Structure 1
Amino acid sequence: MAIDFTITSNVLPNGRTAFSAQRINSGEAKFIIGYRTHYEGNLGLFNTTVTNGQVYKPEDHAARHGFWAYFIHPTAMAESQGSFKCLNTYDRAKFTFGFMQYAAHVPNGDFVSFFKKLLQLPVAREYFPKLALQNGRIFYKSNNGTFSQLESDHSTQALMDYLNPTLNDIETQERICAARFVHWTINDPQQTEIQVETAITLYKENMKALDSRFDLHHAPAYVCAMICDIRHQGRSKNDRIAAALNTNGNYQKAFSNLCTIGETNYKPRINTVKNTLAKLTDQGLFSMKYDAGSGEFIPA
């Protein structure tokens, strides 16, 4: 049986409109989906609420994922303050979700990978009864039983439109899809674990590609983490990163150079990454270097 919601909105004292949902016939409490926002002429939802129990803590995942659980933490803090239910539906991605802000506009990207894993869970048919995986692709099943493909190697436009029909309004479908993702996050630990697995798989693959481009064998983890954050956000291309790393092996200088990339527009984000790295270093959790042969981090 599909999980259905009653969705309501109310204007807060600060003038912001909040959208809330409540599962029908469940006795469950209402929960916030997100808040109405304008962005560059678009209209959508955002939710950056940090809630106890719904926040990424690397120590909770270190037993399974080792140092990688700490390695992704700086970017998680920069993206969402670690909130597993962070949401935005107002920019060109049309639907972005999770503690690492997986964005739906990239073919074969992090959101697509994350969502495909979710759709393999038994409970998925309760949240998204009209979606199915076929031959590794996401399909929509219409009322007459026909299937239409929503994403491919070249485009996710149909998937984006399914999750958020337009950027001109906050449509019913947009609210429902947002409610499904937030409720699933709140109520199913498997969902948040898949968020974490997706992030770590992505960062392992990214590190291999970055090493191929920049020769990061035995580079300190803090340098690698800053490079990964730059590429995850997309605030610079590889040539600028290569120039920052051109220090004859002086990694402290390289790190300082990397921290200047994008600082005009993204200084608060860069500071969040730097501060998180400093805390992890002070706790003795970041004294690692990258080993290109194994694709893993080893003690420095």
Structure 2
Amino acid sequence: MKVVSFSLEEGAKYYGSIDGNRFFIGKRVPYAGGKGLMNVSGNAGQRYDRAEYREKYKFWADFIHPTAMAEGALFHTLNTYDRAHFTFSFLQFAAHVPNGDFVIYLRRLLKELPVLAKEYFPDLEIVGTRIHRVRGNSSTELENDHSTAGIIDYLNPSLAEIEDTEIIQAARFIHWVQNDAAHRALQIDVGIDNFKKAMSGYASHYKLDGADDIVCLLVADIRHQGRAHDAEIFNALKAADPASELVKLGEPRYHERLLTIKKEIKRLKDEGTLGRHRYKKDRRDFVPV
């Protein structure tokens, strides 16, 4: 079992140690009257690089790039201060969504990387298809189709203050992903698979069959973050230039994020990666034009 020790230093920064390896866990930040952890600091080797994954995932490695950049892009990106209670990964998988990206991610970690899963989270296991916490001879389901309250309680019980549990669980995720290439690969696989499945649904819901890649990317990013309602998205899609309207959704509240999205879309368009594909519903994929 991985034993975590931690300390609060420099006034607001938590550092951890596992197996004698010291690392940054997160900065203490205030939010909406409460407190939580944030970690968006790291080096290039800890950041999503689409070039490394293009051979396996093709255009999808590029398609998720702007969203990844807006979400922090670091494999250990951490946020424990808002309503999700715990978001983690280069795409900030959120723990508050039943059957959502974080739940799928944790299920797969426990199932596909069982040896290290037992080292980092010895009290978690998959029972049937659900994540359970095991204590002695008892087993408690932590998530179902309607709630992730058990997972939230396990990771970050309260937004009012930063608990030891919150620091320790964050440290385990951070140390594991920083020191295990298989963990990072699984994180990428979960992220891209989630976008693929989501785009198939968006193609039907928003009538995006044949839509260009930039419009699809903007819809996918809006839905990933949840910054606009359906009515706003449908109205933007009716415009003469849907992309220019979609990229405004979320202003002014999410202005900084939208600047990042626009900058990265321009970068990919200028290099000839974006603006050259359309989504085909029957193939559940993008095709060159």
TM-score of the aligned structures, taking structure 2 as reference length? 0.96
Task: For residue 79 of structure 1, report the CA deviation from its aligned partner.
Answer: 1.0
Look up the match of 1:269: 257
Q: Which amino acid aligns with 1:269?
A: R
Look up the match of 1:293: 282
Q: C-alpha distance in 2, partners of 1:258/1:165?
A: 36
1:76-111 C-alpha deviation (Å, 9 max, x unpaired):
01111x111110111121111011111101110110
Q: C-alpha distance in 1, partners of 2:216/2:7?
A: 44
| Secondary structure of 1:91's aligned partner | coil
- Residue number among 141, 146, 151 corresponding to 1:149 in the alignment: 141
- Residue number among 77, 83, 96 corresponding to 1:105 in the alignment: 96
The CA RMSD measured in Å over matched residues stands at 1.1
Q: C-alpha distance in 2, partners of 1:190/1:260?
A: 37
Q: Are 2:76 and 1:85 equivalent residues in the alignment?
A: yes
**Structure 1 residue ranges without an equivalent (≥5):** none
Q: Are 2:13 and 1:21 equivalent residues in the alignment?
A: no
Q: Are 2:133 and 1:140 equivalent residues in the alignment?
A: yes
- Residue number among 34, 40, 44 corresponding to 1:42 in the alignment: 34
Look up the match of 2:5: 6
Question: Where do 4+ consecutive residues of structure 1 move more than 6 Å?
Answer: none
Look up the match of 1:73: 65
**Structure 2 residue ranges without an equivalent (≥5):** none
Task: For residue 212 of structure 1, report the CA deviation from its aligned partner.
Answer: 0.6
Q: C-alpha distance in 2, partners of 1:238/1:221?
A: 19
Look up the match of 1:171: 163
| Secondary structure of 2:45's aligned partner | coil
Look up the match of 1:213: 205
- Residue number among 231, 244, 248 corresponding to 1:239 in the alignment: 231
Q: C-alpha distance in 2, partners of 1:138/1:53?
A: 31
Q: Are 2:120 and 1:127 equivalent residues in the alignment?
A: yes
- Residue number among 279, 282, 287 corresponding to 2:270 in the alignment: 282
Q: C-alpha distance in 1, partners of 2:255/2:160?
A: 30
Q: C-alpha distance in 2, partners of 1:42/1:49?
A: 22
Q: Which amino acid aligns with 1:96?
A: T
- Residue number among 38, 42, 47 corresponding to 1:55 in the alignment: 47
Task: For residue 218 of structure 1, report the CA deviation from its aligned partner.
Answer: 1.8
Q: C-alpha distance in 1, partners of 2:59/2:213?
A: 10
Q: C-alpha distance in 2, partners of 1:240/1:94?
A: 27
| Secondary structure of 1:274's aligned partner | helix
Task: For residue 192 of structure 1, report the CA deviation from its aligned partner.
Answer: 1.3
Q: Figure out how many residues of one structure are paired with residues of the other and give that number.
A: 286
Task: For residue 168 of structure 1, report the CA deviation from its aligned partner.
Answer: 2.2
Q: Which amino acid aligns with 1:195?
A: Q
Report percent identity of matched pairs: 41
Q: C-alpha distance in 2, partners of 1:54/1:158?
A: 30
1:15-55 C-alpha deviation (Å, 9 max, x unpaired):
x51101111xx343x10000111100111111111322110
Q: Which amino acid aligns with 1:172?
A: D
Task: For residue 59 of structure 1, report the CA deviation from its aligned partner.
Answer: 0.7
TM-score of the aligned structures, taking structure 1 as reference length? 0.93
Q: Which amino acid aligns with 1:60?
A: E
Greater mean deviation of Cα atoms: 258-267 or 219-228:
258-267
Q: C-alpha distance in 2, partners of 1:118/1:51?
A: 24
Q: C-alpha distance in 1, partners of 2:152/2:20?
A: 32
